[in-house]
Amino acid sequence: MMNEVALSSGFLFPSVKISFFLRTARLTSLEPKVTSALCVKCSKKQLKLNSRADENRKVVKKSGKKEHHLWQKRDSAGSGQKALNLVRIVSELPNEKEAVYGALDKWTAWETEFPLIAAAKALKILQQRRQWTRVIQVAKWMLSKGQGATLGTYDTLLLAFDKDDRVDEAKSLWNMIIHVHTRSMSKRLFSRMISLYDHHNMQDEIIEVFADMEELGVRPDEDTVWRVARAFKKLGQEEKRELVLERYLCKWKYIHFNGERVRVKRDGWNEE
């Protein structure tokens, strides 16, 4: 009975039990080393497989998207030289519409698309040379082809009409512009037309254009305000002149003093 109790409690054969515990402890201590060694081997194999896959895989480089600008392409096509050729052609022609339009049509005969940039440059060159009749002819020809109906073309054409004393044609063009582009009229065109009428001493027309300007909510610049005020003064409407100056002219002005731009308050409305 004592032997059974001692055997069950583990007091008998102590050396056997100790050796058993030592073996289990050694096995448990070896387990992490074995697992770590296996992990290292697996990782090495995985690296080899990945390197082989990278070698076998073909590297495809995508070509970057090239930026394409139409104005660069057209400019490189020689728009400046085309403009000079156009200026030379029209300068040598007689002042006849049929001859000018025929030469301009021949100038664009072999073009796949209308050379708008070259024509605009030619207009600028003619304007710088003050060849106003040629400016009018080229601009009208462009508009007849359905090309160049822009703010710049209209402004250049109105200026040419002003310089060439063709007020009736300017008025017809202005009526067309304000009828077609009512909601997109710019301050620049209004100022150009008021300047044209002021140059030809047409006070009633100045007031009419200014009324359209106010109706469309376009605020005039300072030069236009003074022209309108001068028109009211010539018509004997001093109250409206004062009202226009008070409403649209800034109470402050800028002057240059000792090399600096200084803001000062205006002294009445009598300065122009």
Q: Which of 235, 236, 271, 239 is closest to 255 using CA atoms?
A: 271
Task: State the CB neighbour count (10 A cutoff) for residue 145.
Answer: 15
Q: At what angle do helices 116-128 and 79-91 cross, to 10 degrees?
A: 50
**Which pLDDT belongs to residue 270?**
57
Query: Which residue matches tokens 């076998």?
Result: 56
Tokens of 36: 């770590």
DSSP three-state, residue 51? helix
DSSP state of 216: T
* Contacts of 157 by beta carbon, 8 Å cutoff, 6+ apart: 135, 136, 139, 140, 173
**Which pLDDT belongs to residue 260?**
77
**Which pLDDT belongs to residue 220?**
92
**Which pLDDT belongs to residue 249?**
81
Helices (H) and strands (E) in the chain, counts: 13, 2
User: Which amino acid is it at 153?
Assistant: T
Residues of the chain with pLDDT under 50: 1-18, 20-22, 25, 27, 30-35, 37-38, 40, 58-61, 69-76, 272
**Which pLDDT belongs to residue 211?**
94
Q: Which fold has domain 165-272?
A: 1.25.40
* Whether 122 contacts 138, CB under 8 Å: yes
- Spans of all domains in the chain: 74-149, 165-272
* Whether 190 contacts 213, CB under 8 Å: yes
Give the integer Cα–Cα distance in Å for 48 and 109. 68
Task: State the CB neighbour count (10 A cutoff) for residue 256.
Answer: 8
Query: Which pTM was predicted?
Result: 0.66
